[in-house]
Structure formats: C-alpha cells, structure tokens
Amino acid sequence: MVPDLPPRMSPAAPPLAGLVVVLPRSADRAAGMADELAARGAVPRLMPLIDFEEPESPRELDEALVLLGRGGFEWLVVTSITTVRALKQRAALLGTSLAELTRGTKLAAVGSASARVLAAEGLDVSLVPEASMDAVGLVAAWPERTTPAQSVPAQDGTGKVLLPQADIAAATLADGLAAKGWQVRPVVAYRTVDYPARPDRRLTAVLAAASAGSPGADSAGTAGAAEISVADFNRAAADGGIGAVVLTSPSLVRRLHAVAPGLPAGVLLVAIGNSTAREAARLELRIAAVAAAPTPAGVADALAAALAAAPGNAVSGHP
C-alpha cells in the first residue's frame, strides 16, 4: 500500500521537498540514490522491476576469465556496475579476484560510475568517454588500430578486447570496436530478468564501493524508503500521487513501459545515460531530463531542473 503523502511544504522548502520519486530497483541497488533524494527532501519509493542472474551456463565466461588472467586480452571493457558485480562474483568462484585477473590488462569503463566502482575494487581504469557516457561514446573515444595487411595474428593479447555484458546487450560496442580494427570477444556475464531473480542464481557479490555514491552500488540503508507494488504504483500515478520515476537503463525503460502503460503526463521521467533516453523515445515515453552525471547527485540535480522547468501544478506527487 502506498504510504500517505507528506504534508504540504513551506515556500522556503528545497525544490524536491515532498516530491514522491519512484526508483525501480531493489533496496541493495538503489540505496545511494534513495539516500541522496531523501537528503534533498524528496520521498523515495522502491519498486523493483528487474534483477540479475548468473548465465545459465558459466562455461564461456569462465573460459574468458581464465584467458584474461593469462594475459590473453589487451583490454577489458566494463559496461555497467552490474558487470563489475558479475565478474567479481565469478572470479571468487574461480578462486581468484578481479585484481589478479586483470593484472597487465588495460581497463575501459563506459561511464564514470562504473569507473569509480572499479577503482574501489583496486583497479586502474585507462579509458572513460568524456562526452557521451554510453556505448556510442566509448566507441567514439576508442583508439583506431591499424595492422599490416599480411600481419600474423598476435599470439598474446595484443589487439584483443574482452567484452563481458548482459545477455540482452546491443551489438553497438562489439561492432564499433571491431570496425576500428580490434578483435572483440563478447561474452554473457549476466542475465537480466524480471524481479525477483531466482535466489540460487542471483548476483549477490558485495561491491567495495558501498559508500561510493554510485546508483547501482551497494550501500547501507535506504533512507526509510518504502517498497510499493506495481499495482499500487499504477493506482497512485493515476491519482496524482507519483511525482517522478528514475530510469537507469534501457531494460528498465522497457519493463516500466510493459507494467505501467499510459503514464500520466504529470509524472516526470528522468534518465541516466543517453541510451536509456533513446530507448524511452523509441517507446514514446517523454524524458523530462537526462542526468549530466550517472550519480545520485546527478540524478537529484536533473530532477530539480526538470521540476523547475515544468509548468506550475503540472507535476504529480508534489506539494
């Protein structure tokens, strides 16, 4: 059941005061964002829609990780915080660590949030796109590789890229890096499933970035954020009781569109990443703002800007 909305705030209240913001993630993956929003006066609510599991068969991933540990790749590309979690979990099951497996291998991260989580794990990141923190941006920032037409394939990892990703990942990175002359090995590191994941298959590795402030990293506490069901969400949205929803990935966009079609115009949608915003546009969902940084503070700033730009009384779930 959706808790009662807070009392109407005074004119001096901060911009997000009283705004009901739904985070479609589980508590262990939304804590940092919930805490940031609550600190700014918003009322965060959790509505888990997707979860993550190990691959049905980890054989291909295990083989790639063993090869990685032997120096079989020049680069490892990390596309999300969930990828870090999946790799850390699998490395532990193989009796090693990410730091050991990546010794001597260059790391690239698709965005600053993933880079911070990798740093917290003790890993140095060599490449993060500056302009567009998504697959398109990373391809644009990636160096061209030219080799002689008659060259013999390298016997070590030179020119080879390991690309662990979700089972539903687009081919943007693999195709883009290959077009720049690199030998790319995509491998499924985890599966995206409807919430909740099967307990025996769920990704549960605890990241070192527990207090790094990253949207998908573990953190302690969720600022007392209550969890609501999809049915409660739809009822509250129809009654004007939901102010905003934060969308962190294209898969979350698709899931929200499936379970909550026809969202009222007064519900602000804020996206993390251009790929998330593009998927929303494809499904004809209007994005009010895209976070300039993939962090809790970046999301809160985007919400404040979207709220300030909205016509008076046009936003639901706000005093």
Name the phi and psi angles at 222, rounded to 5. Answer: -135, 35
pLDDT, residue 153, reads 56
Residue 113: CB atoms within 10 A of its CB come to: 29
pLDDT, residue 201, reads 97
Nearest alpha-carbon partner for 316 in 252, 261, 231, 244: 244
What class is the 20-50+214-309 domain?
A: alpha beta
Nearest alpha-carbon partner for 113 in 137, 79, 136: 79
Terminal Cα distance for the chain, rounded: 20
Query: How far apart, in whole angstroms, are the C-alpha atoms of residue 149 and residue 136?
Result: 27
- Edge to edge, the sheet with strand 75-78 lists 50-53, 183-194, 160-166, 75-78, 106-109
The residues with which 192 forms a beta bridge, in sequence order, are: 52
Residue 195: CB atoms within 10 A of its CB come to: 15
Q: Which two tokens stand for residue 269?
A: 């949608």
The residue behind tokens 């989580």 is 117
Query: How far apart, in whole angstroms, are the C-alpha atoms of residue 29 and residue 191?
Result: 16
Query: How far apart, in whole angstroms, are the C-alpha atoms of residue 16 and residue 244?
Result: 11
pLDDT, residue 14, reads 78
Per residue in 274-286, is it b (16+ CB within 10 Å) or e — as a string? bbbbbbbeeeebe
pLDDT, residue 317, reads 63
List every span in the chain annotated with CATH 3.40.50.10090: 20-50+214-309, 53-193
Omega within 30 of 0 (cis) for the link into 196 = yes
What class is the 53-193 domain?
A: alpha beta
pLDDT, residue 150, reads 44
pLDDT, residue 319, reads 64
- Strand-pair category, 183-194 with 75-78: unpaired
pLDDT, residue 157, reads 84
Residue 216, sorted as left (phi over 0), alpha (psi -120 to 50) or beta, turns out to be alpha
pLDDT in tens, the chain (319 residues): 433 434 333 445 578 999 999 999 998 889 899 999 999 999 999 999 999 999 999 999 999 999 999 999 999 999 999 999 999 999 999 999 999 999 999 999 999 989 999 999 999 999 999 988 889 999 999 999 976 544 555 667 899 999 999 999 999 999 999 999 999 999 999 999 999 999 999 999 999 985 444 555 655 455 568 999 999 999 999 999 999 999 999 999 999 999 999 999 999 999 998 899 999 999 999 999 999 888 899 999 999 999 999 876 566 666 6
Mean pLDDT estimate for the chain: 89
The residue behind tokens 């020119």 is 159
Sign for the pseudo-dihedral over CA of 3, 299, 79, 91: negative
